[in-house]
Amino acid sequence: MKNQNEEILITANKLRWEVGENIHDSILESIYKEASDIASKVVKHMGEKSKFDLDRMIDRIVTGKLTGFPVMFILLAVVFWLTISGANIPSGWISLILVDTIHPWLKEILSSIHTPWWIIGVLIDGAYLAMAWVISVMLPPMAIFFPMFTLLEDFGYLPRVAFNMDNLYRRVGAHGKQALTMSMGFGCNAAGVIATRIIDSPRERIIAIITNNFSLCNGRWPTQILIATIFIGGTVPAYLAGAASAAAVVAIAILGVIFSLIVSWGLSKTVLKGEASTFSLELPPYRPPRILQILYTSLIDRTLFVLWRAVVFAVPAGIVIWLVANIHLGSLSLAEHFINSVNPFAFIIGLNGVIILAYVIAIPANEIVIPTILMLTVLSAKIAIGSGAGIMFELDSINDTAKILHAGGWTTLTGINLMLFSLLHNPCSTTIYTIYKETKSIKWTLISTFLPIAIGITVCFFVTQIWYFISG
């Protein structure tokens, strides 16, 4: 049997010389010919093809040399503007219910049955409040942003983005499909990293994995939107505030794309040398979006999925926050010790110790950065708001958030640097784990983790120094 098999292979090898190189082409040719024969028999075009082709016309605008990028930026800006201006009010309602009503009520019940103070602290002021905060801050912007994003996806706009970007990525030595994985990263970096499987060359795939983190993910959109609303929207007249904040968020997103291009270029010129491989990208026809399907996908699959993840991570983080704020070494709490010791370094890069500590606590999920920052700010600045230091407090509106941050010594520069640092820092732990699973390499996982932090610190440092220089 074995011999017979070998004999087949030997015969095949011999015959391969006889048939020569063109067998592949010959097979393809006959396939194409028969496909075209059959198609010509069964396909009938009814009447004249209409002269006006809507798909073509839309494509001419959204993928045009001159119009492609402006249309892309405008679409993004409109989406953010709607999100920013629409999210504030429902956010207030949810916080009114979860934080102002249910929180004191839970506390009262537990005290009435004589629960020890530290259990109430850990469970209610730590775990429950962290969860309530995450829901009220994140749910409204996500419930507005995701359906709009899914609408664009279902309509067929994403491949056009890839088509516009493809050339840029090829020019920096990366794969054109990286434009698609980058788009996926705007939803979730872990998903974006998995999506790099569509890139065949290992070299280009690793570039795509390392740079995926420069796509702002779900967890970071709310941070960007909130900080932009407070610090950028606050610097312009009220009627411009929404537009200015939206523009700032778009600018950060575009900056992320620029960084992914620069880093891709750097990698493909140094450690990951090579030529970009070619591929063909088919622009699918535009399809009328299915509204119900979109609402379902975006609300159940995306919004609730992300929210659930945030809540799952917020609960233990809330406990950690409460503990570091309430366990004292000497006269100061653990959190204050940490904040005081990193402050000198943090000020050089235009941040503060609170932000650094928040990013350490929030490694599992970017979603909880803002709640953590607020709580720690109250604690370290000893601001008398809400129910006192060491717990998360009532925040009915963005105005209250702004008051706390200003009282904590935040300036517009801190806001800008936080937005930059939120874009340029390590991926969340889920993404890091996914990168390890996909690359099976500790080296690339470490590079993907620390490269963005190094870039973030450098960028914040220069922004801060230039800001000080200009403002004297």
Partner 1 sequence: MNLENQNCTNCPAHNVTNLVKLGIDMSNFDFVVALAGNPNTGKSTVFNNLTGLRQHTGNWPGKTVGRAEGGFLYNGKRFKIVDLPGTYSLLSTSEDEEIARDFILFGQPDVTVIIIDATRLERNLNLVLQVLEITDRAVLCVNLIDEAKRHKIQIDDRLLSKNLGIPVIPTAARQGIGIPDLLKSIYDVTTGKFICKPHRISGEMKNITNAVDRLNKKIAESFPNLPNTRWIALRLLEGDQRIIDAVRSGEIGNLKPVESFTSD
**Residue span binding partner 1 (CB under 8 A) among the ranges 2-10, 355-363, 385-393, 457-465:** 2-10
Give φ, ψ of 13 to 5 degrees.
-60, -45
Q: How far is CA 64 from CA 19, 59, 160, 359, in A?
A: 46, 7, 10, 41
Pick from 110, 281, 363, 453 the residue near partner 1 by CB under 8 A.
Answer: 281
Number of chain positions touching partner 1 (CB under 8 A)? 64
CA distance 177 to 198: 8
Based on C-alpha coordinates, what's the Rg of the chain?
A: 27
Residues 185-224 that bind partner 1 (CB under 8 A): 194-195, 197-198, 200
CA distance 432 to 190: 8
Give φ, ψ of 52 to 5 degrees.
-95, 110
Comparing C-alpha atoms, which of 445, 400, 453, 444 is closest to residue 425? 453
Pick from 47, 116, 237, 472 the residue near partner 1 by CB under 8 A.
Answer: 47
Query: CB of 367 within 8 A of CB of 375?
Result: no
Q: How far apart are the first and last CA of the chain?
A: 87
CA distance 279 to 301: 30
C-beta closer to partner 1: residue 45 or 443: 45
C-beta closer to partner 1: residue 18 or 108: 18
Position 237 contacts partner 1 (CB under 8 A): no
C-beta closer to partner 1: residue 16 or 269: 16
CA distance 298 to 145: 9
Position 440 contacts partner 1 (CB under 8 A): no
Position 284 contacts partner 1 (CB under 8 A): yes
Bridge partners for 329 per DSSP: 332
CA distance 98 to 94: 6
**Residue span binding partner 1 (CB under 8 A) among the ranges 33-41, 131-139, 315-323, 463-471:** 33-41
C-beta closer to partner 1: residue 8 or 109: 8
CA distance 8 to 61: 57
Q: Residue 221 Cβ, how far from partner 1 at the closest point, in Å?
A: 19
Q: Residue 86 Cβ, how far from partner 1 at the closest point, in Å?
A: 24
Position 329 contacts partner 1 (CB under 8 A): no
Q: Residue 445 Cβ, how far from partner 1 at the closest point, in Å?
A: 20
**Residue span binding partner 1 (CB under 8 A) among the ranges 140-148, 154-162, 241-249, 324-332:** 154-162
CA distance 249 to 77: 8
Residues 295-314 that bind partner 1 (CB under 8 A): 296-297, 300-301
- Residues at the site binding partner 1, with contacts judged by CB under 8 A: 1-2, 4-9, 11-12, 15-16, 18-20, 22-24, 26-28, 30-36, 38-47, 49-50, 153-156, 158-159, 162, 177, 180, 194-195, 197-198, 200, 281-282, 284-285, 287, 290, 296-297, 300-301
